[in-house]
Chain A
Amino acid sequence: MFGLNKKDSILMIAVAALALLAPFILNIFPNDSALAFFNAGYPDLMQRFVIFGIFAIGFNLLFGLTGYLSFGHAAFLGVGSYAAVWMFKLLNYNVVPAIVLSIVVAAAFSLVIGYISLRRSGIYFSILTLAFAQMMFVTAYSDLLGRWLGITLTNGETGLQVYNDDPQILLGNGPNVPHLFGLEMRAKEVWDIGPWEFTLPVGYYLCAVLMLASFYLAIRIFRSPFGLMLRAIKSNQTRLNYTGLNSKPYTLAVFVISGMYAGLAGGLLACMDPLAGAERMQWTASGEVVIMTILGGAGTLIGPILGSGAIKYLENVFSKLNEGLLHDWFGFMPDGLEGALVWVVSKFTGEGWHLTLGGLFMLVIIFLPGGLVEGGNKIRSWIQNRTGRGSPPADTASTPAE
């Protein structure tokens, strides 16, 4: 179907179903039940799931296929956001030009940075991309380029946003919030079914459709001769050289494609909430996408989506937990024990959620180097062994991270 083999078609349909039904799946617990805390069906969070999914899918094309670990990918996300907000400031709030420009600008930046960084491989490549990203972060944070040009380009630490006196030459009578030809991004449909409440936001569905398109493109790249070539680059560059093939055009091409995915993600972030800040480009943001990809399973198709979903979901749950809630949960225990437990757990929740993330990441790296996908495969083969269906051939689509 659509040029995919059977296995990939099933994967594509499964992801599409999950994405389109997410508002229902993520609000599985009735609204007033005790477990409603674990619901994730809010527009803001669902949008982040798919946007960071796009970011991680793109990152995985570079890292998963070629093994080049870029440590500055958030820079492209950041320029994507800035480009989108500039489109809002100059034209109007239609998201189409904003998204197009964010992809184009990210492509231009990744072409230049990739051209220079890809002169080296391994750790040197990672350091070069990190250096570029930090330079861009500082430039944006202090608006160095804008000050030099005598204009407001990134608006420094305040962040770039749309003001009433911006040109917005095409605004006319159009909506004053991001919209798709009149369809406002923040509009939503709320369905009350019994005790459940489901929210279907317009913005989420735009992001979800774009994520599915990105995912489809990624599958095609994985299965194409170009993808084969990229895996060959990861495997043995010496042999490639002695086969008459220069790896650089291929790595540069995939670096730019990957940068465009990041730009799209950044543009979408700005479309959902029309402001752009420098902190999106900081190295911690770059590190986050590395963690997402590895946690899910680098080099696999579904891994980055799982990884970004898992991290964004856990981030939401853990950072929402506060001491009051913990006291409620552990209230059934004797007082002393309850106090102690709450004291310990509270260090890992709220602002301390990064401690949890760090621990989780270490566990995955040590016990499941292939990420959640490897975990899934292990469970599946364990079940198949138990039910006596014999051991199936290992999933060749998954290459564990090194």
Chain B
Amino acid sequence: MSILEVQNVNKSFGGLKALQNVNLKVEEGTIHAIIGPNGAGKSTLLNCLVGKLTPDTGSVTFDGVSLLGKKPYEINQTGVSRVFQTPEIFGDLTVYENVLIPCFGKRDGSFEMNALMSVNSQKDIRAKAEQMLEDVNMADKREMRASSLSRGDKRRLEMAMCLAQDPKLLLLDEPTAGMARADTNNTIALLAEIQERRHITMAVIEHDMHVVFSLAQRISVLAQGTVIVEDLPENIKGHPKVKEAYLGGAH
């Protein structure tokens, strides 16, 4: 059963058609990769999913609910979490406090609002936040200021924050961009483990083919704003249309 359905989505900026009749179905419990050359419209598509942009026409349905016209925080409340290309974390707060925020926040967007209760007195929430840090191997950095982390650690922290929400769908925008090989492999292992253990559906935008083919169970190839192929990874590898999109023209 598909949990996310994108139908005939169009989006243009002035004269530039960023997305043209894009269709996408993400099956529940799978990792779906969206690949394509630079400027193919991958990030625009992701922005249309999370409410940062509104498609001109077409529909986006998640878990049977239309996401069109919803604000980002309302879309998140339906169960969609997003990891950004440049990590969006609370830089002024410590690593631990960063994870506390989504732990305090509940699915419906309300916040454990006991204004006079101290943060430290709420044991179950602290335990959950600590567990989250363990899961991404960052427990030893909990008192560091988040802005002083390395880029790979910021990304892992952001993943921990998204996972703390128990999302139904996790959107990842180039989760390994700018990472060293070892960090990339760690991230792949982390994502694979999360998927196996918690069955969270994921949609991944990625440039690194190593990551894509290690993780994805299904791949959509985007070029010039349209989905040119959608298939299983093994069929994508040698697909002539994909080669054409990446290498350009008929060579």
Kindly list chain A residues whose C-beta atoms are within 8 Å of the C-beta of B158. 239
A-B pairs with beta carbons under 8 Å apart, 15 shown: A220-B115, A224-B116, A224-B118, A225-B112, A225-B113, A225-B114, A226-B115, A231-B92, A232-B90, A232-B93, A242-B50, A242-B82, A243-B102, A243-B161, A246-B109
Distance of B75 from chain A, by nearest CB (Å): 8
Apart from A5-B120, A226-B113, A240-B73: 19 A-B pairs, beta carbons within 8 A: A224-B115, A225-B100, A225-B104, A225-B112, A225-B115, A225-B117, A229-B101, A231-B97, A234-B92, A236-B88, A236-B90, A238-B88, A239-B90, A242-B50, A242-B72, A242-B81, A242-B88, A244-B77, A246-B109
**Nearest neighbor of B145 in chain A, beta-carbon distance:** A396
Alpha-carbon distance A3/B100, docked complex (angstroms):
20
Q: Is B69 on the interface with A (CB-CB < 8 A)?
A: no
- In the complex, chain B residues 76-99 whose Cβ is within 8 Å of any chain A Cβ: 76-77, 81-82, 84, 88-94, 97
Interface of A is mostly: helix
Q: Which residue on A lies nearest to B158, using beta carbons? A: A239
Contact bitstring A372-402, B, C-beta under 8 A = 1, else 0:
0000000000000000000000001001000
* B165 adjacent to chain A (CB < 8 Å): yes
Q: Which 7 A-B pairs have the closest CB atoms?
A: A244-B76, A235-B90, A235-B92, A226-B115, A239-B88, A241-B72, A244-B77
- A213 interface hit (Cβ, 8 Å): no
Q: Within B99-144, which residues are at the interface with A (CB < 8 Å)?
A: 100-102, 104-105, 107, 109, 111-122
Q: Are A225 and B119 touching (Cβ within 8 A)? A: yes
Give the Cβ gap from A139 to chain B, nearest Cβ, in Å.
33
Q: A144 an interface residue at 8 Å Cβ cutoff?
A: no
Contact A245 B73 (CB under 8 A): yes
Q: How far is the CA of A229 from the CA of B118 in the complex (A)?
A: 12
CB of A228 within 8 Å of the partner chain: yes
Give bound CA distance, A117 to B73, whole Å.
Answer: 21
Q: From A246, which residue of chain B is reached at the shortest CB distance?
A: B73
- How big is the A interface, by class? 20 to 34
A221: CB under 8 A from chain B?
yes
Quick check: A223 and B118 within 8 Å, CB to CB? yes
Residues of B within 8 A of A223 (CB): 118-120
* Contact between A244 and B73, CB atoms less than 8 A apart: yes
A4, A242, A245 — which one has the most chain B CB atoms within 10 A of its CB? A242
Known: A228-B104, A240-B101, A242-B73. A235 touches B117 (CB 8 A): no
B101 A3 Cβ-Cβ under 8 A = no
Which listed residue, A4, A224, A232, touches B114 by the CB 8 Å rule?
A: A224
B116 and A243 form a contact (CB under 8 A): no
Which chain B positions have C-beta within 8 A of A227? 119
Residues on the A chain within 8 Å of B71, using CB: 241, 246
Q: Which residues of B contact A229 (CB under 8 A)?
A: 101, 104, 111
